[in-house]
């Protein structure tokens, strides 16, 4: 399946994870409680009552996991720092044990020939900050800048690639607007300040990292094409509003220095001054992509299958619809490889010369195959990756500057509100024994990476 699928010299191959989804050890090393620790204790919030308390036990098994990456052949590993492991209350001096853990991880990666690409924040807010207003409060941008400065001062000499925030849209929508993720607030459009404060925190973190000597800095923002459910004017209007809220609200301020369609009027001020910080130039823009979304005008019959089982409240001016006619992952997400290239072309058309080089900071699928006689033969994941990577390569052939691809995820992990029900990993994890088993897709990806590096014209 990998025939003729090769990428240019210098293209980065990586895998992605996040702290709360894999680390475990939530009470070790002076780590403070996070919003996800709290959310997981609330009855009915997480499928099967699962928590990230142990997860993949990466905190203790990181050396084993780095060895799996080395064998896979990746040159870069995208992980996230746990904010409450560094600053248990979200402010003040860092905890030595927290910094020491990431020292060990980073040095082990470098010793294996793998470059670290850490994300500062992947949704695990220190609970103490949430108690003080969380991302609804402007004060959190001061705290985040301080946190970024601590990490930059400690690790900038060894980390070549930095990511500030992961998917600010998801925290805004699922965490504060709909309440399906931590911290579980249901504010609907009153959650918009969360978007602004994350964007401002991103800009301030870029500045703090640069002051500490960091060089290559970007963000990991999730984006996908929004398709009108029909050609009707009502469905097109609803899809355009949804597109602005889900895509361009989180990219325009960074890349253009402005909010789309006057949305800045709904943001806490001083908006103009903040936008100057938010649009601090980046070295790359990270795109997380999974599937397109079909959107139509509201009918009063919300389709929870289109929103990962989350029931949208009545009265919204748009309605995501189930996209039919495509195979789906085990999470129910449509498999549409062409949409991958489409969103990249949309970005190039929308931003032109304002668009820095792109990294695909996440892409992957939930395929829940279990071992049979010690083998996980996840052929549907292989088919997914083959199709999506070919779409990516075609977009690159059309002149879109993509510098690397990070597959989500290295290993099966805690999938937020879905608990341990969805398996996104190239490596199967038995959550009872913590045994790691590389899947067929792991071996396929290893072959693809090796083949791409051996292609004519590569060093």
Query: How high is the pLDDT of residue 458?
Result: 47
pLDDT bucket at 170, cuts 50 / 70 / 90 = very high
Average pLDDT over residues 389-408: 98
Q: Which residues contact 184 (CB under 8 A, 6 or more apart)?
A: 39, 42, 45, 175
Residue 458 lies in a domain: no
- Over residues 202-242, the pLDDT tens digits come to 999 999 999 999 999 999 999 999 999 999 999 999 999 99
Residue 220 lies in a domain: yes
Q: Which residues contact 384 (CB under 8 A, 6 or more apart)?
A: 329, 335, 337, 364, 365, 367
Residue 4 lies in a domain: no
Query: How high is the pLDDT of residue 302?
Result: 66
Average pLDDT over residues 189-198: 98
Domain count, the chain: 1
Domain enclosing residue 28, as ranges? 12-453
Of 362, 370, 432, 447, the catalytic one is 362
What gap in Å lies between CA 3 and CA 440, rounded to an integer? Answer: 17
- Over residues 36-83, the pLDDT tens digits come to 999 999 999 999 999 999 999 999 999 999 999 999 999 999 999 999
Where residue 212 sits, what CATH number does that domain have?
3.20.20.80
Residue 2 lies in a domain: no
Spatial CA neighbour of 170 closest among 75, 55, 49, 307: 307
**Annotation says 167 is catalytic:** yes
Average pLDDT over residues 283-301: 94
Query: How high is the pLDDT of residue 240?
Result: 98
Of 130, 167, 319, 342, the catalytic one is 167
Average pLDDT taken over every residue of the chain: 96
Q: Tell me, yes or no, if the pTM score tops 0.85.
A: yes
Annotated binding site: 21, 122, 166, 290, 408, 415-416
Annotated binding site for substrate: 21, 122, 166, 290, 408, 415-416
Residue 413 lies in a domain: yes
What gap in Å lies between CA 228 and CA 7, rounded to an integer? Answer: 33
């Amino acid at each position: 399946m990998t025939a003729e699928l090769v990428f240019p010299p210098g293209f980065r191959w990586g895998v992605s994870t996040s702290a709360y989804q894999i680390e475990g050890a939530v009470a070790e090393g002076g780590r403070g409680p996070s919003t996800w620790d709290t959310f997981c204790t609330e009855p009915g919030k997480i499928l099967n009552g699962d928590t990230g308390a142990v997860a993949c036990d990466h905190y203790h098994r990181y050396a084993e996991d780095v060895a799996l990456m080395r064998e896979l052949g990746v040159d870069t590993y995208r992980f996230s720092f746990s904010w409450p492991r560094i600053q248990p209350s979200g402010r003040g001096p860092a905890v030595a044990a927290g910094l020491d853990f990431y020292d060990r991880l980073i040095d082990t990666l470098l010793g294996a020939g793998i470059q670290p690409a850490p994300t500062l924040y992947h949704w695990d807010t220190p609970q103490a900050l949430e108690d003080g207003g969380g991302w609804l409060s402007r004060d959190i941008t001061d705290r985040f800048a301080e946190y970024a400065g601590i990490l930059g001062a400690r690790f900038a000499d060894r980390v070549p690639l930095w990511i500030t925030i992961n998917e600010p849209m998801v925290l805004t929508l699922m965490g504060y607007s709909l309440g399906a993720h931590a911290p579980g607030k249901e504010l609907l459009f009153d959650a918009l300040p969360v978007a602004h404060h994350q964007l401002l925190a991103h800009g301030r973190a870029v500045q703090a990292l640069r002051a500490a000597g960091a060089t290559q800095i970007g963000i990991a923002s999730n984006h996908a094409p929004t398709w009108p459910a029909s050609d009707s004017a009502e469905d097109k209007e609803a899809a355009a509003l949804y597109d602005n809220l889900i895509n361009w609200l989180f990219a325009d301020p960074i890349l253009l220095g402005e909010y789309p369609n006057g949305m800045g009027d709904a943001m806490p001020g001083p908006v103009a001054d903040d936008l100057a910080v938010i649009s601090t130039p980046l070295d790359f823009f990270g795109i997380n992509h999974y599937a397109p979304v079909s959107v139509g005008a509201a009918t009063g019959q919300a389709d929870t299958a289109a929103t990962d089982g989350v029931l949208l409240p009545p009265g919204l001016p748009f309605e995501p619809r189930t996209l039919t006619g495509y195979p789906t992952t085990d999470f129910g997400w449509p498999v549409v490889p062409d949409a991958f290239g489409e969103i990249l072309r949309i970005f190039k058309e929308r931003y032109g010369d304002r668009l820095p080089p792109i990294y695909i900071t996440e892409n992957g699928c939930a395929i829940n195959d279990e071992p049979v006689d010690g083998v996980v033969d996840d052929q549907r994941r292989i088919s997914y990756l083959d199709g999506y990577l070919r779409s990516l390569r075609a977009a690159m052939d059309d002149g879109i500057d993509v510098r690397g691809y990070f597959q989500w995820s290295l290993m099966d992990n805690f999938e937020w509100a879905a608990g341990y029900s969805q398996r996104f990993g190239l490596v199967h994890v038995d959550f009872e024994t913590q045994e790691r088993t590389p899947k067929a897709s792991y071996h396929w990806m290893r072959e693809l990476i090796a083949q791409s590096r051996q292609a004519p014209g590569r060093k």
